[in-house]
Amino acid sequence: MSRSVGTCCTLDLKRIAMDKKLRVAVPVVTTGEAKGVKTQGGILEVVLRQVEVECLPGDIPDHITVPVDEMLVGDAIRVADLQKGLGDKVLLLDDPTAVICHVVVPKAEEEVKPAAEAGAEAAGEPEVIKKGKATEEGEEAEASEKPEKSEKREKREK
């Protein structure tokens, strides 16, 4: 059932049976700072920010809290790890092997060249890119193109 409220909004009303299970998405919230971030220079990467659960309407959690304090570089928390804290009333529907979050080593960034080196490279001659597969094949292709070009010129002149 939909009702128009004002001129720009609609309101959808649904009747929910309190004795029938629902499927809903629940947000995942990480708490704390991982040891792998503090001591090992890692980065905490959150892969899934919500999970789908099935439960009765009265048992729907506001969010699922994931403590990450004890995680080191290479550690991961998966969907299956969350089920323990939810009990029997809430069933997780996502793939149990899906990663919620993990601590990874940051990728090395390319070193920035000093301005003097960058300017010297830019001032040099541009790189010439040759057509053809190889030098010998390229020369043969140029030789075969010359007669065709001269024939075209002769036709134009006539």
DSSP line for 55-101: E-GGG--S-EEEE-TT--TT-EEEHHHHHHHH-SS-EE-S-TT-EEE
Top-level class of domain 20-104 = mainly beta
Buried b (16+ CB within 10 A) or exposed e, 53-74: bebeeeeeeeebebebeebebe
Q: Look over the chain and give the mean of its residue pLDDT values, rounded to a whole number.
A: 78
Q: Is the pLDDT of residue 65 over 80?
A: yes
Rounded percentage of the chain residues whose pLDDT exceeds 90: 51
Q: Is the pLDDT of residue 135 over 80?
A: no
Could you state, in order of their start, the residue ranges of all structural domains in the chain? 20-104
- Whether residue 46 contacts residue 100, with contact meaning beta carbons closer than 8 Å, is answered with yes
Angle value at C-alpha 92, between 64 and 32, nearest 5 degrees: 25
pLDDT attached to residue 7: 61
The pLDDT-based confidence of 136 (bands split at 50, 70, 90) is low
The pLDDT-based confidence of 113 (bands split at 50, 70, 90) is low
| Digit-coded pLDDT (tens) for 18-60 | 889 999 999 999 999 999 999 999 999 999 999 999 999 999 9
Distance CA 115, CA 38 (A): 34
DSSP designation for 10? E
Q: Which residue in 2, 154, 27 sits closest to 100, CA to CA?
A: 27
The pLDDT-based confidence of 94 (bands split at 50, 70, 90) is very high
The pLDDT-based confidence of 115 (bands split at 50, 70, 90) is low
pTM (two decimals): 0.58
